[in-house]
Structure 1
Amino acid sequence: MIGLIDCNSFYVSCERVFQPRLHGLPVGVMSNNDGCVIALSNELKALGITMGTPAFKLLPLVRSEQIHLLSSNYELYGDMSRRVQSVLEEFAPAVEPYSIDEMFMRFDGFAHEPLVEHARQLHRKVRQFTGIPVCVGVAPTRTLAKLANRAAKKIPAYQGVCVLQGDGLETRGLLQKTELGDVWGVGRRLVERLAMLGIKSAWDLAQANPKEIRCRFSVTLERTAQELRGVPCIEMVDLDEARQRIMTSRSFGKLTDDLDEIREAIRQYGQRSAEKLRRQNGLAKAVLVFLKTNPHRQDLPQCSPSLVLELARPTADSREILHAAGHALQQIYRQGYLYQKGGVMLIDLIDADRQQLSLLEPPLNDAERQRSQRLMDVMDKLNGRMGRGTVRLGTPSPGAAWHLRCAHLTQRYSTRWDELPAALAT
């Protein structure tokens, strides 16, 4: 059996854990640079506000304190996601994060009734230990687990927990009531094409001929149909598999042509990419740096320059990566353009334990490599213990144009010593 745990209004719930005053109030979280609403509480949805609403349109409601909008606090959300995962790992032998607020779990060897109780206990413990409300859906396949999770969230009778058997009457009834557009992996265009064949519900798709579905559409949709019938076709992902590319990119807080400010941004992005690379015990052979102007500002000159530089040797040393990134930026930067975005990508990655060394390389280089690794290990440990950015190469200028606009950013309560919540005695 496969379980899917989905955190309810995750970004808002994270904020409410440390700000109880927000419970019951209409709360939204905005995207980068406070652009639009990307997370909404149920109270905010009840006011008719939808996902993607531009934040500036809601300013009158914010000023009158009818609603509350917060800037994205991704450091807090990432840490709370890890805390939820640590609780889930006590209830299942395998946990696979699907997104920051959704995780698949494997439940093997349970009979139906004990599994229902196990899922309910998990539902309670996550809320108790993290403060985050979740919904739990369990079924024989991942697609059915998605469906069960949706039922747990939408149907009050389930009280946040829905466990489906593959061929049970409950599963059949749910499939018959579920529109195709609500099935995981079935988009709007597919819904229209399937409707022409008389397939209008999840049950219709489950009963369709798999070979015909594959012939007319794709093997992916065939797998979806099989999964709706209770036949597992989608395996859990191996989380230990190293990524082939690592990129860090951000939109700037405002348009800028200042080379020094852009250099600061590229330096920060390069360090972050190097940290991710070391986390997977990898080395990079090349660095790609890119810049972009705002394509929506047709009144301004447009360009999107990029450059790949090969490193002198495969490395995960932030200093070497930033040195190459700086050279690449110097070559691609063009005066007369206002840039909106920049990024650093590490490519041609290899496993550090399988690095092929040259027989002609001097022995001194091996000693340098070991010193480099020790230095990076110390930096990563300090940043892991004291908070990201405690030790870094170069100090970013306050108020630089590349900094994200975060006018309503809350504290990073769980990852920064200087932002820990304070309890005041009365």
Structure 2
Amino acid sequence: MFALVDCNNFYASCERVFNPNLQGQPVAILSNNDGCVISRSDEAKALGLPMGAPIFKWDSFCKAHGIHVLSSNYPLYGDMSSRVMDILRQFTPDVEVYSIDESFLEFKGFDHYDFESYGNEIRMRILKWTGIPVCVGIAPTKALSKVANKVARKFPKRTKGVYVINSEEQRIKALKWIDIENVWGIGRGLHKRLQAKGCKKAYDFTQLSDDWVRKTFSITEWKLKKDLEGHSKILLDEPKNKRAIATTRSFEYTYSDIDNIEERISTFATSCAEKLRKQGSSCYMVIVLLSSDKHKKDLEQHRASKSVSLSYPTNSSLIISNCAVNAVKSIFKTGIKYKRAGVIVTGLVQTSNHQLHLFDAENPKHQPLMQSIDHLNSKYKSHKIKLGNQDLKRTWKMRQERLSPRYTTNINDIIVVK
């Protein structure tokens, strides 16, 4: 059996844990630089606030309807997500973290368990220990557990947040209820093709012949169909190292001077290097991206990229940052107002097992230095140690005018009980 555990309105729920005044109130969370709405509470959805709404257009609407609008508090959300995932691992060792707010669980050897009670235990423990409400869908396959989770989310009073598909009758009933476009793995293009075939519900998809699905689509769609039929073909994903690592961000403001852009590129490159070291990888190539604000049509536009190949693999922040800064200098144009930049490291190999270069190699002092920096930054839960050309006060320069306190990751923001 599989379970899909999904946190309800996760960003808004994290805010409500530490600010109970938001309970039952409409809440909206904004994207980077307070741009667009990326998360809404059920109350905000009911008022008609759309996902992706640019806040400068909808600000008066939010004020008129009493919607609490907050900046994204990623340190808080990331920490709360880790707490939820750690609790899930207490119920089974087989956990696939699917996103920041949902995970798949596989129950091997749980043949005689009462899964509805087990699902309720999962739900209540997470709620009690973190304050985050979740819904649990349990079924014989991953795809069906997604369907079961949607049933639990749609009918909270009837299901109490937990729904189990453990019979053929329940499977067929659920598939006849859910629209084909709401099925996990059915994208916009596939939805149109299935709709042309007469598939309106998930059940209609399962009635198509296996041969036709294999010939018309691919093995992925066939596996999804078999999963919905109750035959497990989609397995838990094993944790894998990434083939490329990217850090891209929009700037808080447009920059036309090279100094600010160099600082941002150095910070992005350092972030990529840290991620490389975390997964035990090194890179052979650094790619730098730089672009102006495409929304300001009246200004001169410029987009460029630069690739730098290395003669030996590295995960040193010093080397990667230096390469990235030199690259951005070569593509920077005077007079352009830049809004976005990024650094990508690729050509990844294992740090412990790679081809050595006969005449060129990394300074042997870099690795122990990087280990010390990582240790200190991990110990103090913030980037205290930085390169000299980085901003010493902030990691990301984002507009966050509505930011809530970092209740669990900053000692100065911890709630004081009086």
Q: Say yes or no: TM over 0.5.
A: yes
User: 1:288 offset after TM fit, Å?
Assistant: 1.0
Output the CA distance in 1 between the equivalents of 2:16 and 2:377. Answer: 26
1:70-81 matches, cutoff 5 A: 70-81=70-81
Equivalent position of 1:160 in the other structure:
161
| Residues 291-318 of structure 1: per-residue CA shift (max 9 Å, x gap) | 0112232222222111111235321111
When the two chains are superposed, the root-mean-square deviation of aligned CA atoms in Å is: 2.0
Output the CA distance in 2 between the equivalents of 1:413 and 1:404. Answer: 19
Output the CA distance in 1 between the equivalents of 2:67 and 2:383. Answer: 33
Equivalent position of 1:19 in the other structure:
19
Amino acid at match of 1:391: I
Equivalent position of 1:136 in the other structure:
136
Output the CA distance in 1 between the equivalents of 2:393 and 2:92. Answer: 45
TM-score (ref. length: structure 1): 0.92
Q: Which moved more, 1:285-294 or 1:8-17?
A: 285-294
Residue 238 (structure 2) pairs with residue 238 (structure 1): yes
Output the CA distance in 2 between the equivalents of 1:316 and 1:150. Answer: 42
Residue 402 (structure 2) pairs with residue 420 (structure 1): no
Output the CA distance in 2 between the equivalents of 1:387 and 1:65. Answer: 38
| Pairing partner for 1:396 from 385, 391, 416 | 391
Equivalent position of 1:336 in the other structure:
335
Output the CA distance in 2 between the equivalents of 1:159 and 1:172. Answer: 21
TM-score (ref. length: structure 2): 0.94
Does structure 2 retain, via aligned residues, the 8 Å contact 1:256–1:339? Answer: yes
Equivalent position of 1:300 in the other structure:
299
User: 1:216 offset after TM fit, Å?
Assistant: 2.3
Amino acid at match of 1:35: G
Does structure 1 retain, via aligned residues, the 8 Å contact 2:284–2:309? Answer: yes
User: 1:225 offset after TM fit, Å?
Assistant: 1.1
Amino acid at match of 2:159: Y
Amino acid at match of 2:14: C
Equivalent position of 2:374 in the other structure:
380
Output the CA distance in 1 between the equivalents of 2:97 and 2:242. Answer: 15
Does structure 2 retain, via aligned residues, the 8 Å contact 1:290–1:343? Answer: yes
Does structure 1 retain, via aligned residues, the 8 Å contact 2:386–2:392? Answer: no
Does structure 2 retain, via aligned residues, the 8 Å contact 1:191–1:200? Answer: no
1:190-209 matches, cutoff 5 A: 190-209=190-209
Does structure 2 retain, via aligned residues, the 8 Å contact 1:28–1:40? Answer: yes
Output the CA distance in 2 between the equivalents of 1:74 and 1:149. Answer: 25
Structure 2: gaps (5+ residues):
none
User: 1:179 offset after TM fit, Å?
Assistant: 1.3
User: 1:159 offset after TM fit, Å?
Assistant: 0.8
Q: Secondary structure at the match of 2:402?
A: coil
Output the CA distance in 1 between the equivalents of 2:147 and 2:39. Answer: 21
Question: Size of the alignment, in residue pairs?
Answer: 416
User: 1:382 offset after TM fit, Å?
Assistant: 1.6
Residue 405 (structure 2) pairs with residue 405 (structure 1): no
Output the CA distance in 1 between the equivalents of 2:322 and 2:189. Answer: 47
Amino acid at match of 1:282: S
| Residues 178-199 of structure 1: per-residue CA shift (max 9 Å, x gap) | 1111111223443333233332
Does structure 2 retain, via aligned residues, the 8 Å contact 1:3–1:139? Answer: yes
User: 1:172 offset after TM fit, Å?
Assistant: 1.1
Q: CA 1:326–1:191 in 2, change beyond 3 Å: closer, same or farther?
A: closer
Q: CA 1:321–1:190 in 2, change beyond 3 Å: closer, same or farther?
A: closer
Q: Secondary structure at the match of 2:120?
A: helix
Does structure 2 retain, via aligned residues, the 8 Å contact 1:247–1:346? Answer: yes
Does structure 2 retain, via aligned residues, the 8 Å contact 1:44–1:67? Answer: yes
1:36-55 matches, cutoff 5 A: 36-55=36-55
| Residues 109-152 of structure 1: per-residue CA shift (max 9 Å, x gap) | 22365222211111111111111111111111111111011011
Output the CA distance in 1 between the equivalents of 2:354 and 2:54. Answer: 48
1:200-219 matches, cutoff 5 A: 200-219=200-219
Q: Which moved more, 1:151-160 or 1:186-195?
A: 186-195
Does structure 2 retain, via aligned residues, the 8 Å contact 1:28–1:37? Answer: yes
Equivalent position of 1:283 in the other structure:
282
Does structure 2 retain, via aligned residues, the 8 Å contact 1:248–1:270? Answer: yes
User: 1:47 offset after TM fit, Å?
Assistant: 1.2
Does structure 2 retain, via aligned residues, the 8 Å contact 1:386–1:416? Answer: no
Q: CA 1:391–1:120 in 2, change beyond 3 Å: closer, same or farther?
A: same
Q: CA 1:196–1:309 in 2, change beyond 3 Å: closer, same or farther?
A: closer
Output the CA distance in 1 between the equivalents of 2:285 and 2:192. Answer: 44
Structure 1: gaps (5+ residues):
none
Q: Secondary structure at the match of 1:233?
A: coil
Residue 30 (structure 2) pairs with residue 30 (structure 1): yes
Q: CA 1:315–1:187 in 2, change beyond 3 Å: closer, same or farther?
A: closer
Q: CA 1:210–1:49 in 2, change beyond 3 Å: closer, same or farther?
A: same
1:119-130 matches, cutoff 5 A: 119-130=119-130
Q: CA 1:387–1:152 in 2, change beyond 3 Å: closer, same or farther?
A: same
Does structure 1 retain, via aligned residues, the 8 Å contact 2:241–2:279? Answer: yes
| Residues 68-106 of structure 1: per-residue CA shift (max 9 Å, x gap) | 100011121111111111000000111111111111111
Does structure 2 retain, via aligned residues, the 8 Å contact 1:211–1:222? Answer: no
| Residues 353-381 of structure 1: per-residue CA shift (max 9 Å, x gap) | 102324556xxx68x42x32222112112
Amino acid at match of 2:257: D
Equivalent position of 1:263 in the other structure:
262
Output the CA distance in 2 between the equivalents of 1:396 and 1:94. Answer: 41
Output the CA distance in 2 between the equivalents of 1:244 and 1:399. Answer: 28
| Residues 315-335 of structure 1: per-residue CA shift (max 9 Å, x gap) | 111111111111111111111
User: 1:49 offset after TM fit, Å?
Assistant: 1.2
Q: Secondary structure at the match of 1:284?
A: strand
Amino acid at match of 1:413: Y
Amino acid at match of 1:382: L
Does structure 1 retain, via aligned residues, the 8 Å contact 2:312–2:357? Answer: no
Output the CA distance in 2 between the equivalents of 1:45 and 1:421. Answer: 29
Output the CA distance in 2 between the equivalents of 1:123 and 1:307. Answer: 48
Does structure 2 retain, via aligned residues, the 8 Å contact 1:87–1:126? Answer: yes
Q: Which moved more, 1:389-398 or 1:220-229?
A: 389-398
| Residues 340-359 of structure 1: per-residue CA shift (max 9 Å, x gap) | 10011111111011023245
